[in-house]
Structure formats: structure tokens, C-alpha cells
Amino acid sequence: MVGTHYHFKNFWDVKDNDVFWCMSDIGWVVGHSYIVYAPLVAGATTVFREGAPDFPHNAVFYEVIEKYGVNVIFTAPTAVRMLMRYGEEPASRYNLRSLRFLTCAGEPLNPEALRWAYEHICGSGEWAHMVDNWWQTETGGPCLGTTATMTTRPGRVGKPLPGAVMDIVDREGQPIEEPDKGGFLVIRKPFPHFSRTVWGDPDRYADTWQQIPGVYSSGDVALRDADGYYMVVGRADDVLNVAGHRIGSAEVESALVSHPEVAEAAVIGKPDALRGETIKGFVTLRMGSEGSDRMINDLQLHVRRELGPIAVPSEIEFTPTLPKTRSGKIMRRLLKAQELGLDPGDITTLEE
């Protein structure tokens, strides 16, 4: 989805007295590398805080920014959507003008979340710049992103960053050149901070270079527009197959979250004898909104308008929270296992 194009000032100039806050769990690659090592090597002051972004109260995120004069934040889209749930009033009580740069990674950043954060956290671009980026633990740093010289396109993560040779291919490894046609997101060659193996399991690492011969398979599905901007649709195993149509879970979730009363959403596919799969949505509403049959109908009509009838969830369940890893990724696998009575597998990374 390409919506309003935001143009920003250059907020990326490095300052000697930067205060940097990475909101990840410190046990994650983002945690130790981007909370401890990198900020200190760069000469920045680093903030690290244990606890959820809404505990002990729903404005603690803004309180930390004001109290410590935070200039740069690295967070996850799930954290932004959590803040959306509480509305703009908590943000309005604090001075956020120290903030210069807000960046998200970990899951696709849906346009509605970007627009909300741009307006209420970044002052509609008056004092802060906001971007999306894509990477994985194995890559050690962002591979796709939107630089300060580029136009930000809501729903698009950006373009390959220097040193990263990215592509979208089919199952046979053939490049997909057609604009906005989905395929597998791959990396064509290593770079200096790319991992060399997986500790204690070299075969697992080697497999990521053999699933599609000659390239690193990220496990994500993506598409690329005519201008070279990438959109990461979601994990390959999160792609839904409804009546022969391949639908990215992120597309349906983004459509749900674009409804003004929705804070977060996750969707799964359920086996169906006729259609292959049907879609079930799990929805967390914003504060002050209540789940009802009427709300379900409104959300289904909203998705129909946004994506078409094939993408409409057959079921919608309202839930106060969604299961997440400590790094902020929604555990759709756990939702699916609970729904279908399956073994959820490894849940040691579960936040709660």
C-alpha cells in the first residue's frame, strides 16, 4: 500500500551527547548489541529499562523520553500499536521534543501505526523522523530501510541498504521482476556483519542457503513496487491460502488495524474442506471500545472495502492482549496451536 508520502528534515546527524533508547529485551540480539555495545562504541548515552511499555502506567514510554531527554529510539511496531491502544492523550502530557529519530523493526509496520506515531510521537514531523527497516538476527543489522534522503511510503519498508544485495524470487530462485508481485525475500551474498553459522547447529545454518539454491532464504514473503520500494508481507508460513488465493497475514492485519477502533490484530488460517483455509482474526480494541456482534460486522465490512471479499475474516475474536515474544513479535503460531488444539512447540521466548 502506498499512501501519503512524508518528507522529513535530516534528523540523522550524529550528536556527541545523544541519548539512545532501544526498547528490546536485553537478551535479544537487538538488546545486547543495540542497548549496550553499539551505543557505547558510538559514544552515546544508552537507556535500558526492564518492563512493558505500559507498566506501571500507560504513559511511562513518554515519561522516559521527557525525563532522560531521549533523542533516538529503536522499537517494534507492536509497541507502537500498544501505544495507539491508549490514544493520544497520554502523549500530550509530556514534552517529546528531545526525540529526533524513531525507528521500528521486528514486524511489518502497518501504515496506520506509522501515521499515528508520526503525528503523536514525532510531532507530525516537526521534531522527529520515523522510519521502518527490516533485518534478522543472522544479518546483524538492517538490510532494507528508508534513509533520510528517501521519501517514506507507509506500508513500504524501503530499499536495500548499502552492502545488502536483496531480491525477490520464486520457488526455483528465478527473480520476480513484475512490480507488486509477491515472492520469497532473499539475500544474494553475505556481508561483513552477516552470521557465519548457528552455534552448535551448522546444518541448520547451511539449510538457509540451500532451500533456494545460491541465496539466503529469509523465510519472509515480500513484494517490490516499480520504484524499488519493498513491502514485507510476513513470514512464508503465515501466508494464507483461501480458495486458491495467496493472502499475506500482514495485509489482513493491516486492514484490521486501519479501523479507528482497533489497536492490534493477528490472523491465522484454519483448515476448511471447501476453501482450503478460512481466516480467523484476533483483535485488541483501543481503550473505550467494546467487542460486539456489531463490531465484528463493522470490521468484516472494513476489510472487504480495504482488500476485497476474499480477505474477509470468517471469524473475529476480541482479546485484551496478543501473545508476543520478548522482542515484540506476535506469536501467531501459538494462536493457531491454541485454536486447533495442536502442540505449540517452543514457547520459551513467550513474553508472559
Residue reference for cell 523493526: 105
| Predicted pLDDT of residue 352 | 59
Encode pLDDT of 170-214 as tens digits.
Answer: 989 999 999 999 899 999 999 988 888 888 888 988 889 999 988
Distance CA 341, CA 208 (A): 30
| Predicted pLDDT of residue 12 | 42
| Predicted pLDDT of residue 327 | 64
Encode pLDDT of 265-305 as tens digits.
Answer: 999 989 887 777 899 999 999 988 999 999 999 999 999 99
Q: Is 309 exposed, middle or buried (0-12, 13-18, 19+ CB in 10 A)?
A: exposed
Question: For the ranges 141-155, 254-268, 288-302, 338-352, which has the lowest average pLDDT?
Answer: 338-352
**Segments in the chain forming alpha helices (H):** 29-31, 38-41, 60-68, 77-85, 89-92, 111-120, 202-208, 249-257, 293-307, 332-340
Residues found in the chain: 352
User: 2 pLDDT exceeds 60?
Assistant: no
Residue reference for cell 520464486: 170
Residue reference for cell 503525528: 119
Short-list 290, 344, 350, 341, CA closest to 322: 350
| Predicted pLDDT of residue 351 | 64
Distance CA 279, CA 281 (A): 7
Distance CA 74, CA 34 (A): 8
Domains observed in the chain: 19-156 (3.40.50.980), 166-234 (2.30.38.10), 243-340 (3.30.300.30)
